[in-house]
Structure formats: structure tokens, C-alpha cells
Structure 1
Amino acid sequence: MVISPPPSPVELTRTPWPVRVENRLGARRSAALVDGLIAIGCFVLFTGPVLLGAADRHGSPASQALFGLLAAAPLIVRRRWPIAVLAWITVVLATAVLVGVQFTPYVSDAGLVFPIAVYTVASRYERRTSSWVTVAAVLTASIGALIAYVIHPDIDQDAVQLALAIPAWLIGDATRTRRDFQRRAREQERQAAKERERRIRAEEHLRLSREVHDVVSHGLSMIAVRAGIARMVFDDQPDEARRALATIETASRSALTDLRGLLRDIRVTETDTVAPAPGLADLPAFVERIGHDGVVTVNLRHEGVPRAYSPAVELSGYRIVQEAVTNVIKHAPGAAVTVELIHRPGELVLSVHDDGAEQPENPVGGAGLGLAGIRERAELLGGEATAGPGVDGGFTVRARLPLGTDTATPA
């Protein structure tokens, strides 16, 4: 037994032939081709039997062929001039009945040319315009048939054009309504896509702004504080000045490394390896580095069982602590800082408190973006952050980061 191979994906998704024809000819040419075929079909199906003698109708073959062509040919340009085509066909039908020429096998030269023209007008114009144009065309054709009945009593006449126009107009109006709805839906989708893209870009700009601020602010704040100390003790305490300069060198190199890593992450592609973002596990090294710099002393404490949180919680927690400690360095150098991580089943609480050292004579200024960035990071995770004077003096920054659906497991 021979088993035929399964069809390939190309065969299963083969493009329908009308779509292939439209793609090859273009939308305008393919539409003209369709309309040409419709015009030929109307002439062949309705005037052809009369010319071949299959139906005994009034009029000479030449006049029948002429009126048949005059009625069917305008359908070729029905999309370009819908109202003009309907008016022309109406005049041709009225003239044919008035002169007593029957170019279709049916009463009052009934056929498809008139309803097709009515459909085109209804599908191309708004309802008020298309209804008035259709009513005018039907009245003209009906009045012509009524007059012809008086002039040629031996030729039957009826209101067939009215019977054909009503369903044609209803179908055309429904087509126009559906097309307008689809166009509005596509426009709304485009607007929604633009809005999503704009929002994504805004969120990305905000994220980059926070990251640049958090990465650079700490290092520059340390450099500014230690540069001030070096300037003040340069003559009297050269060893302390050299220590301050060493701290400046270390802080500047660290800030430069962090900034390069951030720029590398911005330019990273899907095939590149992204550098791991800092997390709560990096806080001990951060605290040790701060203590070595000697500007402030930091004590890190945990309450509850430390856990492995989601990357978003890990990064936000680290940045919040980093920014809070940086604020202490800028505004209260020499203070003792307590960093506390409270691990709860449904949330992580971060607390950074300083004991309120004396304000420096020339504090390092800021744009106020640090605390705002802390609040934004907490709110993005559905949490909150507060900052203000502590109960026993000093200043306290406290942030609550809900875990939500993130999986937190004991570390």
C-alpha cells in the first residue's frame, strides 16, 4: 500500500486564486476586470437570448443589441461614477420602453444592470444620498414604463424595476455599513496600537531614567562628598585626603562600570546575553563598600526568613535601598544607617533609617528625583513607599513591595 506524504504547510495555506489575481494585477485593475466580466455577463445572459431568437421580443436585432450594449457597458465604470452610471442606465431603460424596443426576455427589459447600479450607489454613498438617488431612478423608470404602456398597449409593462431596486439598495446599504464599521474598527485598532506603542516608549523612557539616576546618582554623590572632605583636609590631614581621593577613584570606576553595563543592556539584542541585574543578595557587598568609603556606617538586618523573589522585586528592592542610602550620603554624611528587610508571606518591607547626623555646611544638592523614583518603583509592583522624619529623629524611608502572584521560596 502506498501512503502519500502529508501536504506541506505551503499547500495547506495556498492563497486563493482571486487573491493571487488581485496581487498580480493590483486592486484597481482587478476591480476593473471584475466589472468588465459583469458587464459582459449581463449582455450575454440577458440580451444574447434575444439576439439568438430564443425569445420573441419587439424591436430589430440591431436596436436590441444597441440598447443591450448601452445598458451593460457602463457597468465597467460603476465604481468610479456610481450615480452617473445609474442615471445613464435609467435613461437607457426609459428610452427603450418608450421607443418599443425589448432587449431582454423579460417585461420592462428587466435584468441585472439596474439592480447592480442601485447596489453600487447604495454601497458607495451615505444612506440619505443613495436613497434619494435610487428613488429618483425608480420613479424615472416607472414613469417611462407608464407612458410606454399608453404609447404601446401591445407591449406589457410592470413595476419590476422597483421590485429589483429595493433588495439591491438594502444589500448595498448593508455592505456600506459593514465596510464603514470595519474601517472604523481598523482605525481604532491602529490608534490603540499607536497608543500602546507610545505608552511602551514612555514607560521605557521612565525606566531608563530611573536606572540612569539610580546607577549614577550613588557614585556621583559619593564623589561629591569625598571631594568636599578632601578639599577641607588637604593641607592638615594629607592621609585623610588621600583616602578620600582613593574613594573618589573607586566610586568613579564603579559608576562608570555600572553605566557601561546599563548602556550595554539598552543595546542588547535577543541573541545577546544580558548582564544579570543586581538583587537583594548584592546588598551585603553594597553595605560593605559603603562602610569602606567611610562616609556613613550601614547596618543590614533581616526579619523573617530571607527568600528568593521575582527579578522585579529583587531589582526594585536593591535600587530602593541604594537610593535611600545615597540620600543619606548626600544630606547627612557621618550618620549611622540601619537597613532592615522584613520578609513576610505576602510582601517584602524595606526600611532605611538614619540617626540624623548634623547637616553638612555645603550639602550635595539634588533634583528631588530620588524619593520620586522610590515611590514609582514601589507603585509599579502594586506597593507603596513613604519617607519622612523618624520617631526618634533622623529620616526614614519605608517601602512595601507586595509579592502578588510571584513565587517566593525560602533561600
Structure 2
Amino acid sequence: MHDIRAIRENPEHFDAQLARRGLSPVSPELLKLDAERRAAIHAAETAQAAQNAASKQVGAAKAKGDDAEFERLRALVGEKKAEVSAMQDRAGELDAQMRDLLLGIPNLPLDDVPDGADEDDNVEQSRWGTPRDFSFDPLEHYALPAVGAAMDFEIAAKLSGARFVVLKDGVARVHRALAQFMLDLHVDQHGLSETITPVLVRDEAMLGTGQLPKFSEDSYQTTNGWWLIPTAEVTLTNFAGGEIFEGSELPRRMCAHTNCFRSEAGSAGKDTAGMLRQHQFEKVEMVTLCTPETALDEHERMTKCAEAVLEALELPYRRLVLCTGDIGFGAQKTYDLEVWLPGQNTYREISSVSTCGTFQARRMNGRYKPEAGGKPEFIATLNGSGLAVGRCLIAVLENGQQEDGSVTLPKVLHPYLGGKTRLVDGKLV
């Protein structure tokens, strides 16, 4: 959420940054509402002062025995009380309108984010690894003989419908091994704190990270009001909600492996084959809470943590910086990592790493005490996939496929697979 004071001080800059996202100016509406709100607050405070003064005079009139003046002042106090209540209600209504409007405005992009309309305008920054030169036509993950019946979409459809999958036998174990490997790497080598969180959250948690109120259709809500998390960004970031950390406690770097749930609203017809785009999937999420001054360094650090997973698995990838038309609602700047999928002969997103500045912290009132002293300030928040487990499984299967129909598995996974090195007809060998 944005600071209305900053908008008040430089509305032209605010609208110019929104224009980079392709959005129309909102500062005139915001400033008009802000002026009305401040006027209503001032009027309520003035009326409250008049009520307080009249209340004191009532007591003085009664002490003097001036019944006429006592009755007049008592009636005046009653009028002022009703006036104050009405003004306070009006100020509250305007404040709620202001908050609702601010909650629907996305974060402002940093100056070095490239301008653009959509994903076609994202800028490639670097590549790692060389896509393998196959002596045969590589297949997509779901068509691999090595996978066999261990990736079952029919049973999943019977149980839950489209965009679900049942993993079995060796494929299920490789999937589990990938998640375990990611966690171990992040905890042991990257210094992240492993965390297990709920996957059901309240409205406040979804509002804090920006899923609500604007993107409710993208998530699932239970009949008793809980939301199924679209990512552990929601739970981990909301650790800061309503808290005031000591500056010495920051940065807090965390990771969590959870199930994630997305309605995939608007994705009809996209990636309908295989398990690339699912309603339920697993992800190892990374979240950092830090001071605003260190956020950009933390962004680079977190991105390298995600890249380290891909490099250890020997999966070719590229890093993109997203343009203003493609960054998420809460992001100031985002790097996407895209892994090479030979079955599709293209790179596909496997991680998105964003720095959000103080945008989310303002929504959830997450602050810290500067070590140099002074009043509490809003923290900065960052989040990133480290990685999406299902998509990583797809990449491992497709890049490791062999002409005889088997899949050779990355060396770093062998200890997690009981020393097994290949996948043949759904089984580990």
C-alpha cells in the first residue's frame, strides 16, 4: 500500500510511475478524497473541542444555580455530541474509502525496470548452461516412457477434475527428493530458516501480501472463510504483520515447503497437457524481511539462491528482468528464472523473485526499530520460488531423457533416492 503523504508531496511522479504500468492517473481522485477526509477530521476535532468547552460550562452554571443557563448549555452539549458523532462517522467513511482505493493500486516499479507492455518486452539478462543436443526428438514429460503410469492424470481427473495429477512410484519419489534437496540446500548452504506454516489463512493475511481485495478470483476460499494459500509468501511474509522487530533481528531469511493452490483464472486453454499448470502444486518458497536500504542486495542474493538449485541439478536456464507491464501487483522489480524444457524446445518460468519495498509492510503494519534509534519504520519484504517442485520435476525428466526411453537423474539427487540413478517405466533403478 502507498503512503498518501508521498502522493500528496509529488502526485506527478506517482502518476508517471503508474503510467509505466499502463495505468491511468489516480492522484486527482486520491487527493480530492484526502482533502475531504482531512477536512472531516478537522471539523470533528473542532466540534469535539466545542463540546468539551460546553461541558465545562454546564458544570459552572449548575454550581451558580443558573438553571436557565444550565439547561441551555446541556442542550448545546447534546447537539454537539450528535454533531461530533456524525462528523466522526463521515471521517471514518472517507478514511475507509481512501484505504480501499489505496489497496487497489499496485506497487510502483523501480527506475531500472524496463518499460514494456507484456511478457514479450521482458529483458534477458543472462544464461547458464547449454541446452543438450539430442540425437532423437525429445518428448514432453507426460509422454516419456520412463514415466509410464507413474504420472496419472486419469485418476486425478476422476478424483478432482482437470489440472490435477497423481504421482506414483519412482516419479513420486523423485518429486519428494527434489523438495528435500531444495530445503537442504537453502538451509545448509544459504542460511535460510526452515519453516512449516499453515496452508489455510484469514482474509488479513491475503490482504497483507496483495492477493486481496483485487485478486480474489485467483485463489480458493473455504465455506467458513479461510483461504488456501497460493504460495507460502502469504504466510511467511505475514510473520511481520503488526510486529515491530529490532533492527538487529534483520534480515530474516526464511523458506517453507508447502502445497499451493491457484484457480488459474484466465488460463483456460493454456498448458492443458501435462502438469505444467496445476490447481494444486508444491513449492519451496523463500521470503526475506529486511531494512529498505538492504532490499536490493537481498534481491540479488535471493535470486542467486534460486539459481543455485538449477545449477546443482545441471538444468540450463536464463534470467529475465520483467518489464513494467509484466511485474506482479506487489513488486517493485522482478527476476524470472526460466528453465530449458527440451520437450517444448523453449524456456519456461520456474522461479519468480521479487522485491516489494515497504509496499506489503504498509498493508500489514510490519515495522522495525532502527539500530541508530528513532521511531519504528516499515520493513522491506522480498519473496521468490526456490523452486516450484513440479516444474523442476518436469525439467529433470525432460532434460534427462535418453533414447532408450529411460531418464538419467541428476547426481545431487542420488543420495535422496537410495543410490538409484535412473527412472525406467515409472520405477527407480
The TM-score normalised by the length of structure 2 is: 0.23
State which structure, 1 or 2, has the greater radius of gyration over its C-alpha atoms: 1
Q: If each structure's helix is expressed as a fraction of its own residues, which one has the higher value?
A: 1
Higher RCO by CA contacts (8 Å cutoff, separation 6 or greater):
2
User: Hey, which of these two has a bigger chunk of strand by percent?
Assistant: 2
Give the TM-score, by structure 1 length: 0.23
